[in-house]
């Protein structure tokens, strides 16, 4: 059943614990289960004439997903990296945001989001440089939203999260991570269009640094909806 859910549902992660922005799709998911179970307490009273009664007092939630992860850090999926970065951390760094929703843009109570603490278990796959990671995500800080508006129903402007490596010169290959990169119509660095770019996925762009002066060179990615906020970058 959960394998079917992995195909039906998209799962996103974010480092923004307000669950407002910075969402990146977690790719290569092989297994997913929202695991939202009601805690039902006995509410039987004499007035019910001996018929048992119950009431939901809280929700026990621990969404669990399994994904295939590259062991080579340079090619690791950005969405997976948010979950993996919580390993061995405490307090805020041990937390991330998670949301799940129907890929067919359907609304329903089974779409949800939460602040979670992932517990990760790794296993070998038999394929070189590829491991299977199971993340059991315990909901924390009392933040669980069910029946969220399906974010897959509307396109959004691009969001840039990282640009590496820093301090490149003309022609250097720059890797940009973020979201809503599919359908990119323009990419400028320091106001100059990049001479070449490859959109690896909705979350990843690799481009060549255009000509320009050393110093501040803000990055802006544009799609059909609009332009991203300028991301600070310094070039040599």
136/104 same-domain check? yes
CATH number at residue 211: 2.60.40.10
Domain that holds residue 132: 2-153
62/90 same-domain check? yes
104/181 same-domain check? no
- Neighbour count for residue 202 (Cβ, 10 Å): 18
Domain count, the chain: 2
113/179 same-domain check? no
pLDDT of residue 1: 44
Residues in the chain: 236
CA distances from 115 to 5, 77, 84, 110, 166 (A): 21, 20, 15, 16, 31
106/179 same-domain check? no
Mean pLDDT by 10 residues, the chain (236 residues): 65 95 91 90 84 89 95 86 96 97 79 96 94 97 92 81 92 91 92 88 90 94 93 94
């Amino acid at each position: 059943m959960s394998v079917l859910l992995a195909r039906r549902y998209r799962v996103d992660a974010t480092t923004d614990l307000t669950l407002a922005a910075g969402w990146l799709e977690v790719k290569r998911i092989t297994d997913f289960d929202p695991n939202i179970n009601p805690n039902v307490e006995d509410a039987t009273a004499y007035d019910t004439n001996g018929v048992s009664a119950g009431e939901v007092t809280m929700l026990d939630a621990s969404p669990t997903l399994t994904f295939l992860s590259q062991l080579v850090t340079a090619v690791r999926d950005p969405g997976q990296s948010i979950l993996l970065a919580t390993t061995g951390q405490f307090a805020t760094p041990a937390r991330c945001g998670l949301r799940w929703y129907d890929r067919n843009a359907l609304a329903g109570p089974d779409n949800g989001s939460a602040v979670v603490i992932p517990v990760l278990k790794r296993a070998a796959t038999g394929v070189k440089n590829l491991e299977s990671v199971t993340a059991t995500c315990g909901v924390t800080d009392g933040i669980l939203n069910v029946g969220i508006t399906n974010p897959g129903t509307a396109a959004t402007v691009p969001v840039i999260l990282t640009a590496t490596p820093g301090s490149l010169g003309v022609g250097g290959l720059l890797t940009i991570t973020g979201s809503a990169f599919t359908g990119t119509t323009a990419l400028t660095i320091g106001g100059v269009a990049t001479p070449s770019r490859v959109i690896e996925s909705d979350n990843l762009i690799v481009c060549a640094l255009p000509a320009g002066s050393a110093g501040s060179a803000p990055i802006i990615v544009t799609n059909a909806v609009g332009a991203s906020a300028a991301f600070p970058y310094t070039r040599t």
